[in-house]
Structure 1
Amino acid sequence: MNRPLHTSDDNGTRIAAIDDLRATLGERLIDETEAILPYVADASRAEPAGLPVAVVRAGSTADVSAALAWASRHRVPVSVRGAGTGLSGGAVAYDRGLVISLDGMDRILAIDPVNRLADVEPGVVTAELDAAAREHGLFFAPDPASARQSTIGGNIATNAGGLRCISHGVTRDAVAALEVVLADGRVIQTGARTRKNVAGYDLTGLFVGSEGTLGVITRATVILEPVAPGIPRTFRASFDDLVAAGQAVTDIVSSATRPEVLELLDAASVEIIEQFHPSGLPLPRAALLVGQTVGEDAAAQAERLLGICRSHGAVEAVATDGDELLEARRLANPALTARGLRVSCDVGVPIGELAAVFAGISEIGRRHGRRISTVAHAGDGNLHPTVEAGDTPDEHRAAEAVIDDITRLALAHRGTITGEHGIGSVKRHELGWQLDAASLDVHRTLKAALDPHGILTPGRAI
């Protein structure tokens, strides 16, 4: 028999039945208010609705299974978090809900250099897996800008992208198999360690990018790639015109030479990054294109790509050794956040539409009288515009209206409302702009089948 849920005003909302879960989890269950507070928000602009009743700092699949079975019995909403670096509001706590934190499940279980695979728990930090793989002459290709903080589980849950997507694809392309705990506590295995596998539905693909709405990932088998020989070559090109920079990107991606990385920063973003952490980035009049080539002919590749930039009016186009330029690019989000610029989006458009979309964003900024800073994974058409706004509700609403216009612009150019950050709570109102009614119905049918009581990340993502 399910125990009734009771509340009191003693040190915040409490559920009497939490004692059942405490008996199973012991000290891994946290319910003191001060200890809970670090787990209620993520890096997005979404605000928590209230305090959860408890946080489960899971140490094993069994812990997650027990927590979800309890939440299912008592109809308690569950939010799932790793490092809390998400930008879509997907990990924000629910009032009187349960938070499952996976940051303590942080072991690299095995690296298999022969089959180029790694078995990891979800709390492994992305950059730490990459470093471990490089000891075997391999690397983990997914490379979000937050790689030094974000976790593998979070990357998989949002199907994260990053700097190397142009050459290696998104996180989904690097996931071979998963262990997942369903909403009722059952544990399933998906995928295989083989390169080919067509047994049954692609459940691995279903859970990648599901944002914690269908199950909780507790283990992953991910694909590693060999490190390219030779010395990488980093290049940069400055442009006096943002549209010209977009045209250069289109020609680079269409060429026979594919860079490992291709990033674009507009002048406003470069200025903010340099003020946040001076690193010698040259300030362009309009845009700075930064890229990297790899392989034994990396230097020759870089020169070919710089030639394309010069043909589109680049006023400075040089190549160097080292990763300093890419490290500066990774500082974009913390730099913008430090300036109070948190109203942003991550639309994606076809490469051939980049120039037109850059022009459209400029026009939207002029129409609203708002400064818009844009950084982009230009090589795959994923743009991150951020709108300048004061720290008041009215200013935030005005900035959100600008973001909505940018999103509609991307859709008008056959794009998507999110390329890598996910829907979460921040972009849920936009989902119907991209998906038709029948598609939304299919999403909800799948959700209901796997989470009939609607406890997993309710009201978000779909």
Structure 2
Amino acid sequence: MSDLLERLRAGLPPEALITDPDVTASYAHDMASFCEAGTPAVVVLPRTVEQVQHVMRTATALRVPVVPQGARTGLSGAANASDGCIVLSLVKMDRILEISPVDRIAVVEPGVVNAVLSRAVNEHGLYYPPDPSSWETCTIGGNIGTASGGLCCVKYGVTAEYVLGLEVVLADGRLLTTGRRTAKGVAGYDLTRLFVGSEGSLGIVVKAVLALKPQPPQQLVLAAEFPSAATACDAVCRIMERGHTPSLLELMDRTTVRAVNAMASMGLPETTEALLLCAFDTPDPLVDLAAVGELCTAAGATEVVPADNPAESELLLQARRMSLTALETVKPATMIDDVCVPRSQLGAMLAGTAAIAEEYGLTIGVCAHAGDGNTHPVVCFDHQDPDESRRARESFDAIMALGLELGGTITGEHGVGVLKKEWLARELGETGVELQRSIKAAFDPLGLLNPGKLF
């Protein structure tokens, strides 16, 4: 420990090192439940690429594991510390280095908060679409590490589609540049995409070149109430089948609606079994909302209410954004699943989740990026009750198994981390896991970067 600290101090300013165990303990884990976390030896908060390189060279020389972190808003344990590790927190590397309206790119450091970047590019008439629900606190580096999504994915896609290039510090301290600043480029293997979603297991992202879009018109939202999740999912299928491209298409079940109302008095309709939010940012959104409203009514909606103005629309979106936080108030603990299925299987996924909740005697609320088929079943339970905790874990696994049975994936945007390691192996199969481990070994032969995650 003394040798480690001495070597780190040789290349870092005093304020970049945290050794107080009471403080380092607060960096030990992200927001996931049921995920093991170790005790870090030290927390380092670098401000420059050179400081990150120094940390990795020191770690390699002493064979000390390194756990990269952003804002620790993750939900899979990917940022959890391992015993004796260096926690490398990148939140101080938070500069927006460039915004180019001509090239439609932004160049940023990993600690830039998603919402800060979004507002900065808006001032140039540009738009950075990926917007996770935690966008006011999560960082771009974390978004890249987990390949995160958000509410707008149905129209604009996920983080991976906006990362053009990266600067990455490798395990041995070398600096690798991947990708490009250009609109097109196919030179060599796509290493940029390889790093997106790698959860800090292949290298430390220290700079990113991000694609931007022209800022669209302000969107308007329609809210539709349904007597069942099945009818709401039918409406989703009708909307997509007819060729509509909403800027978001979100679903909240009755449990979620009630939780949001209880937490924030939002005035959402508690009698509904499923609330569908659909938005358009087209030049004439009212025309699109009217067409979607007819489809919702045909699918069985009991009430269809378009927002009158952008302010009312934003209130509805705030209600959706706070869904996961609201469900956390239902019981002392939650496990948040992240199963994505083909849109055509969305109804089966919600019906199966309801059956699992009944089988295990638990409250499971569901909110979903319905337009993507990406569901977030939230298992609510009392972690101090051993039997209820056991049933919560078993129901969580049953939901993931259901997703795979329906042709889906165990994670659409939250990542694998510690929470879903066993299920990643089931989804990829033996050959898939073997090849992914080979890639990990090529970039990190000593296994120092975020050990114990993914595999």
TM-score band, normalised by shorter chain: over 0.9
Deviates more, 1:319-328 or 1:32-41: 32-41
Displacement after TM superposition at 1:394 (Å) = 3.4
* Greater alpha carbon shift after TM alignment, 403-412 vs 283-292: 283-292
Q: In structure 1, what is the equivalent of residue 346 of structure 2?
A: 354
Say whether residues 1:124 and 2:115 are aligned partners.
no
Aligned AA (1:43): M
Corresponding residue for 2:60?
Answer: 72
Q: Which residue number corresponds to residue 453 of structure 2? A: 460
SS of residue matched to 1:167: helix
2:356 corresponds in structure 1 to: 364
The residue identity in structure 2 corresponding to 1:450 is F
From 136, 153, 157, the equivalent of 1:165 is 153
Cα distance in 2, alignment partners of residues 248 and 396 from structure 1: 35
* Equivalent runs, 1:361-400 vs 2, <5 Å: 361-392=353-384, 393-400=386-393
My pick for the range that moved more, 282-291 or 308-317, is 282-291
Question: Who is 1:6 aligned against?
Answer: none
Question: Would the aligned equivalents of 1:350 and 1:415 in 2 still touch at CA under 8 Å?
Answer: yes
CA shift at 1:47, angstroms? 4.7
Q: Which of 408, 430, 433 is 1:415 aligned to?
A: 408
Note the 1:41-440 alignment, pairs <5 A: 41-229=29-217, 231-320=218-307, 321-322=309-310, 323-339=314-330, 340-392=332-384, 393-440=386-433
Residue 291 of structure 1 aligns to a residue whose secondary structure is strand
Please list, as runs of the form range in 1=range in 2, the aligned pairs for 1:31-46 lying within 5 A after superposition: 31-46=19-34
Superposed CA deviations along residues 93-147 of structure 1, whole A, max 9, x for unmatched, are: 1111110000001111110001110000000000110101111111101010110
> Aligned partners of 2:346, 2:92: CA distance in 1, in Å?
41
TM-score, length-scaled by structure 2: 0.96
Q: CA deviation at 1:46?
A: 4.4
Helix, strand or coil at the partner of 1:275: helix
Task: Give the letter for the 1:136 counterpart.
Answer: H
- Letter of the 1:145 counterpart: S
Q: Supply the distance in 2 between the matched residues of 1:284 and 1:193 (Cα, whole angstroms).
A: 50
TM-superposed deviation, 1:38:
2.3
CA distance in 1, matches of 2:109, 2:167: 9
Question: Aligned equivalents of 2:410 and 2:368: distance in 1?
Answer: 14
Residue aligning to 1:11: none
Is 2:12 the partner of 1:20?
no
Contact conserved, 1:341 with 1:386, CA < 8 A, in 2? no
2:444 is the counterpart of 1:451: yes
Q: Please state how far the C-alpha of 1:54 moved relative to its aligned partner.
A: 0.5
Q: How many residues align?
A: 448
CA distance in 1, matches of 2:142, 2:387: 32
> Displacement of 1:48 after TM fit?
4.9
Which runs of 5 or more structure 2 residues have no equivalent in the other structure? none
Q: Distance in 2 between matches of 1:411 and 1:49?
A: 27
Distance of aligned partners of 1:15 and 1:377 in 2 relative to their CA distance in 1, 3 Å threshold: farther
Alpha-carbon offset, residue 398 of structure 1 = 1.3
**Distance in 2 separating the partners of 1:267 and 1:241:** 9
Which residue in 2 is equivalent to 1:10? Answer: none
RMSD of the alignment, in Å? 1.2
Q: In the aligned structure 1, how far is the partner of 2:301 from the partner of 2:277?
A: 12
Distance in 2 of aligned mates of 1:424 and 1:184: 23
Q: SS in structure 2 opposite 1:338?
A: coil
CA contact (8 A) 1:82 1:154 kept: yes
Note the residue ranges of structure 1 that are not aligned, 5 or more in a row: 1-13
Quick check: 1:46–1:88 contact (8 Å CA) kept in 2?
Answer: no
Deviation at 1:359, TM superposition (A): 1.2
Matched to 1:433, the amino acid is R
> What is the SS of the residue equivalent to 2:224?
strand
